């Protein structure tokens, strides 16, 4: 099992620590709560609860988290009834007064890009009191319950409630969640139902991800945490992507940095589904994709020859167009967020309507799905397929991690991972797909 705080060196860099999770369900952490009850027995229960929440956040994030001390932030962000501005500030100050944390003001963080946040950093006293083996074990195992609360929060919000309060907590149970959320998502293509998805993620966290310790083969020190805990996040229209929440994750690393990623000290390889969302659109019409490279084929129609740089731009636009509600919004998104790429298209005299028309020539059977706002459905399908792949890897004792439409595995296992990915895609769709190994 990956150890927390196993290195004496800091595993984070200034200004990039992760923002805390204010929605941690503190009932899960009886050992932490017991210590807090003794230390702060004269304080109000909501203050003690906030202290427990910050302690768990610090343990999950290798000893340092970004927090807010701004009243404006609390007024403008959804929070639970017990996590109020006054209770939060008092609990932060108590942790510092008791010698458990150091508070630093004005640190810019990756999760707080438009302003500055304060940070909490653990002291040696914190490590002595809160990092005993039984407490660490409880924290790691109880983290699995975050899946349940996060998924329930999303559904509660979709039913008209805001924030997270005591009414939600009374309803938290696998039975209630299974009935309410599975019913809500039945029309959104989650074949096995939400209960199975929750159980599968718990199984993967316990049996697979907990065995993984991440590092880098070039000795670099980053704020990416070494231990892995993942959850599936569903939205009303689907999604279900597998993420590491409220912790600096390997999933956020640039591609060049991921090349140096190690699993338990061994080098890694990425195994990727090619053109996965295009292939899943073909699944909707029960046909195989007629071309191997869905995006380069469009480039050839537009330019008469391959162009790798233009291919990447067109790929991005097609992905945006699949998610967009209409043509105008897809163009606006490109102009707003990717102006440099838009200029490259103009240099080649390529208009967005030209791309749509070329897409129709290459993929006439699925052109109707452009600007159809269907991406959450596709994400739900691709994440379910990846979950099935991960369950197979776990059964065969192969360590692997999901990354959108690919699997990161230890070097030497990539051939078998490729075979499993092809098999699981076919099991789900009855169709074929190309899977590529990054080193090939």
Rounded distance between C-alpha atoms, residue 206 and residue 228, angstroms: 10
Beta bridge partners of 242: 232
Q: How confident is the model at residue 140 (pLDDT cuts 50, 70, 90)?
A: low
Q: Residue 25: is its pLDDT beyond 60?
A: yes
Token pair for 125:
């006293």
Token pair for 277:
């969302």
**Given this model, what pLDDT does residue 199 score?**
78
pLDDT digits (tens, 9 = 90+) for 230-254: 877 665 555 677 877 555 678 878 8
Report the 10 Å Cβ neighbour count for 406. Answer: 24
Q: Is the pTM of this model over 0.95?
A: no
Which range, of 92-101, 126-135, 137-146, 257-266, averages the lowest pLDDT? 137-146
Interhelix angle 194-207/146-158, nearest 10 degrees? 150
Three-state SS letters, 38-96: HHCCCCCHHHHHHHHHHHHHHHHCCCEEEECCCHHHHHHCCCCCCCCHHHHHHHHHHHH
Residue 420: C-alpha distances to residues 75, 139, 395 (Å):
48, 32, 11
Rounded distance between C-alpha atoms, residue 119 and residue 13, angstroms: 12
Among 360, 335, 358, smallest CA distance to 346 is for 335
Q: Which CATH architecture has domain 26-139?
A: Orthogonal Bundle (1.10)
Token pair for 295:
């995006």
Rounded distance between C-alpha atoms, residue 168 and residue 146, angstroms: 14
Pairing outcome for strands 101-107 and 214-216 = unpaired
Which residues in the chain are classed under CATH 1.10.10?
Answer: 26-139
**Given this model, what pLDDT does residue 113 score?**
44
Whether 61 contacts 34, CB under 8 Å: no
Mean pLDDT of the chain: 79
Rounded distance between C-alpha atoms, residue 16 and residue 13, angstroms: 6
pLDDT digits (tens, 9 = 90+) for 280-306: 999 999 999 999 899 999 999 999 999
């Amino acid at each position: 099992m990956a150890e927390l705080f196993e290195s004496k060196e800091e595993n984070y860099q200034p200004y990039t620590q992760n923002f805390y999770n204010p929605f941690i369900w503190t009932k899960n952490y009886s050992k932490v709560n017991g210590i807090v009850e003794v230390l702060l027995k004269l304080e109000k229960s909501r203050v003690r609860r906030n202290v427990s929440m910050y302690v768990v956040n610090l343990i999950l994030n290798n000893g340092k988290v970004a927090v807010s001390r701004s009243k404006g932030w609390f007024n403008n962000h959804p929070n639970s009834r017990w996590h109020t501005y006054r209770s939060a500030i008092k609990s932060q100050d108590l942790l510092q007064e008791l010698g458990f944390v150091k508070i630093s003001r004005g640190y810019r963080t990756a999760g707080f890009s438009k302003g500055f946040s304060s940070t909490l950093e653990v002291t040696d006293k914190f490590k002595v009191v809160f990092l005993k083996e039984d407490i660490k074990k409880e924290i790691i195992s109880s983290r699995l319950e975050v899946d349940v609360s996060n998924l329930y929060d999303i559904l509660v919000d979709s039913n008209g409630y805001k924030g997270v309060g005591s009414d939600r907590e009374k309803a938290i149970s696998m039975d209630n969640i299974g009935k309410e959320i599975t019913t809500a998502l039945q029309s959104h293509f989650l074949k096995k139902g939400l209960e199975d998805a929750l159980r599968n993620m718990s199984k993967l966290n316990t049996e697979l991800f907990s065995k993984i310790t991440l590092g880098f083969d070039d000795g670099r020190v980053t704020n990416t945490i070494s231990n892995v805990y993942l959850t599936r996040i569903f939205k009303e229209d689907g999604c279900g992507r597998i993420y590491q929440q409220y912790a600096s994750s390997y999933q956020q690393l640039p591609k060049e940095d991921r090349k140096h990623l190690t699993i338990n000290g061994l080098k890694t390889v990425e195994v990727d589904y090619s053109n996965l969302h295009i292939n899943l659109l073909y699944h909707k019409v029960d046909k195989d994709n007629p071309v191997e490279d869905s995006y380069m084929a469009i480039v050839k129609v537009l330019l008469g020859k391959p162009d790798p740089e233009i291919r990447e731009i067109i790929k991005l636009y097609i992905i945006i167009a699949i998610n967009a509600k209409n043509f105008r919004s897809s163009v606006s998104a490109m102009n707003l967020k990717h102006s440099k790429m838009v200029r490259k298209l103009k240099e080649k005299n390529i208009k967005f309507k030209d791309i749509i028309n070329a897409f129709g020539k290459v993929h006439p059977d699925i052109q109707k799905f452009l600007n159809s706002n269907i991406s959450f459905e596709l994400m739900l399908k691709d994440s379910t397929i990846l979950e099935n792949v991960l369950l197979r890897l776990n059964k065969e004792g192969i360590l692997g991690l999901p990354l959108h439409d690919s699997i990161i595995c230890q070097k030497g296992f990539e051939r078998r991972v490729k075979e499993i990915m092809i098999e699981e895609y076919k099991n789900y769709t009855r169709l074929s797909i190309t899977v590529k190994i990054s080193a090939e």
